Structure formats: C-alpha cells, structure tokens
Structure 1
Amino acid sequence: MSRFSGRRLPRRLTQLFVGLFLYGIGIAFMIRGAIGAAPWDVLTQGITRHVPLTFGTVTILVSGVVLLLWIPIRQKIGIGTVMNALCVGPAADVGFLLIPEAEPLWLRVLFFVIGLTVLAAATGLYIGAHFGPGPRDGLMTGLHQRLGWPIWIVRTCLEVTVVAIGWALGGNVGVGTVAFALLVGPMCQFFMRVFAVRIAGGEKSTRTEGPRTGPLRVTG
C-alpha cells in the first residue's frame, strides 16, 4: 500500500506536521533551560556563536549536510525526512520567541523537563506517522546497516563526535546533556507505541523507519 493513500492519511499528515512543530518547541524549552542541550543541539548552539544566523537556520543547514552523507550509505529520503529538515529549525525559532529565558535554577530544570517530554511525544507523533526518518536518524541507521556495527555504538560515536565539536565551538554541555542521553530512548519508545498509526495490513508498528533510540532514537 502507498504511504500516500488510505483513510488514515489525514491523521498521519497531521501527526507529521504537529510532531515536527512540537519537536522544535521541545528543543527551545531545553535550550532555555540552559542546563545542557541534546547532542546535536550542542553542535547547533556552537555554530550559532560563530555565524550571524539563527538557531533554526543553522539547524536546517546542518540537516542539509547530514543528508549529503546519506548519499554514500544509500539511504532513501522520504517526505518525513525533508519536512524534518525544513520544519524543526523554524519551529525552534518560534519557540525562542514564545519561551522567555529563565534564571532561577528550579525554573530552568522545569523548562528542561517540559522540553524533553514534549520532544519525546513529538518524536512518537512524527515517527508514528510512517513518512520516513529524520536526517540524523537516517544517518545513524544507515551507518549501522553499512558498517554492521551495533546501533548503540554508531549512535554513541556520532553523538560523542557532535558534542565534542559543539562544545569546542561554545555549545552548552551539562547535566541536561547526560539526562537527555539516558532518558530520551525510553520516553520516545513509550510515545511511539501511543501514537503509531496502523497502516498496511492493519498492523500497528512501533518500530521506526530510521529511529533515534535503542531500536529507535530521536534529534532532530
């Protein structure tokens, strides 16, 4: 069955775009928390300190570079991949306009918790729509398939690399970065089960097409 047919298509499209928008809002909450960003967001933060571009614009550019890396590993791009690359960054910029900077530690921790929860739910929404993985997810799973390494090793290597580069450029690494790494997988897995849409054959899949955690995984 085509991904663009069936009576569930309106719900799937709604999930895709709502999920991608909320993903950006989740990122904005975590960044405003200022206790440590997610690995790829550390890289984006670091880059924004050296170029006159918004966080969202840099996110789009980084996504474009990551998609170029899909070519040698022969990953297939889906509409969800393209929309992820184009929508998450601007949604984060909207979030920065709506969410104030926080000073008390308790409020920054609260912002981080809200952001992580929103991001995990957003991941369940957009991956559950079955329109393809995000750029970073596809890079991880593509390397896993081509190199034959366990997915956790590929994920760890990628994220340690981007965190190191982002930190060197001035990105915010902290306890939130560690908390994200430990919690995002189980939280995303839960929300993927909640929001997975039944498609061909009536099966409700809880697997990602290019996940970000465990068998799945998230970023943007």
Structure 2
Amino acid sequence: MRGRRLRRRVPQLLIGLFLYGIGIAFIIRGVIGAAPWDVLSQGIATHIPLTFGTITVIVSGIVLLMWIPLRQRLGIGTVLNALLVGPAADVGFLLIPVVDALWVRILFFAVGLTILAAATGLYIGARFGPGPRDGLMTGLHTVTGRPIWVVRTALEVTVVLIGWLLGGDVGVGTLAFALLVGPLCQFFMRVFDVEVPTAPPGGEGQDLRPDAVTG
C-alpha cells in the first residue's frame, strides 16, 4: 500500500508544481492584477535583467533562509517547490499569448486561478512538505502567537506594497485572488489529498486528511 501511494504521490507533486507555474502565467497574462508574491517578483523583474521565473526561484530561496530562525523543517516538496515553480511559469509565458481584449484577460485570470488552486491541492495533497511561503507563514504564526489569518494578511500586504512600489501589477485581480484562492484551495485539497497513515505503537494509522486536522 505504501508503495502504491508513493507511486501516486511523486507524480502528483511534480504535476502540481508544474501546473502551479502555468496558473501563475495565466494570471499574469490576464494583466488585471497578480497574486501578492507574484507582484513582488514582477516588481523586481522591472529592475533586474532576469526572467520572472528566475526571480521567483531567488525569492523562494530567500524565504527558505528565513525559515532557519523560525526552526521550520524542510520537506522534499518544499525544495522542489522553490526550484520548479518559477521555471514552470517561464514555460507558461512561452505558451500563453499576450492578449488585449478585456474579456480574454478576465478569462485568463479565471483559468489561471482555477489551475493554481488545483495545483495547490495536488502538491499539498501529495504530503511532501509545505511551500516556502506557507512555511514562513506557519513559522511566524508559531513564533509570534498571532492567528494564521493575521500573519498571512501582514505578509501579503507587505509583499504587495513592496512589489507595487517596484512596478508590479496590482489590480482588481489581486483582490479577487486574495478573496477566492483560500476557498478554492481548500476544495481541491480535499479532492487530491493522499492519505498517508502513521502507525503509532499499538494503534492503527492516523487519519491525516485536511478535514481531520484542527487548530
């Protein structure tokens, strides 16, 4: 059973990370406002002659360095997230055309948001560790004692502000992303979650589905 689960989990992780980058590319091609961390990467890209994907990898690496004082533990999924999402986004930019029609741009945003949420469900459901930004959020939550929503809001407002000042794309899509991504990700996490039970001494495997986790 563990072998069969692993054969599902590894492809699910890799597919999820690739699709996450494609979702980012669709959202950015929509040009109605990017996701908060992508606004930051866009802003940096206006000042540094590197691709969006390369900058995303660099930002992810910096975020992982911030894990050290927070004593967060890396998973293989964390490392692959940091390394693969950015290049996948660059591939998406090669495949997805620049468009002018507003209705097409709105469609691109909607498609991108849906793909990104499904991709989140895939890679988190594979259970190989959180993404760099998710780990930063949970680490700060643990250290500060602040509620998750307060920490997440503070982080995203900060990166949006910095990204906007650097020239990143902030718009109605940024707000729509903030409002919709949570419920969509929760739905897809339930769809794609892979049960990986543990077997404590003298007991059966624990239920580790997202809806079984509290607090």
Name the TM tier (shorter chain).
over 0.9
Question: Residue 128 of structure 1 contacts residue 208 of structure 1 at CA under 8 Å; is this kept in 2?
Answer: no
Alpha-carbon distance in structure 1 between the residues aligned to 2:146 and 2:102: 40
SS of match in other structure, 2:74: coil
Q: Determine if the alignment matches structure 1 residue 205 to structure 2 residue 209.
A: yes
The CA distance in 1 between the partners of 2:211 and 2:57, in whole Å, is 26
Describe the SS at the equivalent of 2:210: coil
How far apart are the structure 2 equivalents of 1:107 and 1:191? 25
Please give the residue correspondences for 1:75-94 in structure 2 after superposition, counting only pairs within 5 Å. Answer: 75-94=72-91
Tell me the equivalent position of 1:101: 98
Q: In structure 2, do the counterparts of structure 1 residues 177 and 129 end up closer, same or farther at CA, with 3 Å as the change threshold? A: same
Give the Cα separation in 1 of the matches to 2:107 and 2:128: 32
Q: Which structure has the larger Rg?
A: 2
Q: Which amino acid aligns with 1:144?
A: H
Deviation at 1:102, TM superposition (A): 1.1
Deviations 1:113-138 (A, max 9, x none): 00000000000000000000000000
CA distance in 2, matches of 1:102, 1:164: 26
Q: 1:96 to 1:207 in 2, by over 3 A?
A: farther
- DSSP 3-state at the match of 1:51: coil
Aligned partner of 1:185 among 182, 186, 195? 182
User: 1:196, 1:204 within 8 Å by CA — same for their partners in 2?
Assistant: no
The corresponding residue for 1:17 is 14
The TM-score, its normalising length taken from structure 1, stands at: 0.91
Partner of residue 202, structure 2:
none
Correspondence 1:1-220 to 2 at 5 A: 6-200=3-197, 201=205, 203=207, 205-206=209-210
Deviation digits for residues 168-193 of structure 1, max 9, x if unmatched? Answer: 00000000000000000000000000
Instruction: Say how many residue pairs are matched.
Output: 206
In structure 2, what residue type is equivalent to 1:205? R
Cα distance in 1 for partners of 2:98, 2:173 equals 16
Does the aligned pair in 2 maintain the 1:29–1:95 contact within 8 Å?
yes
Corresponding position of 1:218: none
Unaligned runs of 5+ in 1: 210-214, 216-220
The offset of 1:203, in angstroms, is 2.8
**Separation (CA, whole Å) in 1 of partners of 2:89 and 2:19:** 9
TM-score by length of 2: 0.93
Q: Hey, what's the Cα distance between the residues in 1 that align with 2:159 and 2:175? A: 14
| CA distance in structure 2 between the partners assigned to 1:202 and 1:141 by the alignment | 22
Structure 2 unaligned spans of 5+: 198-204
* SS of corresponding position for 1:8: helix
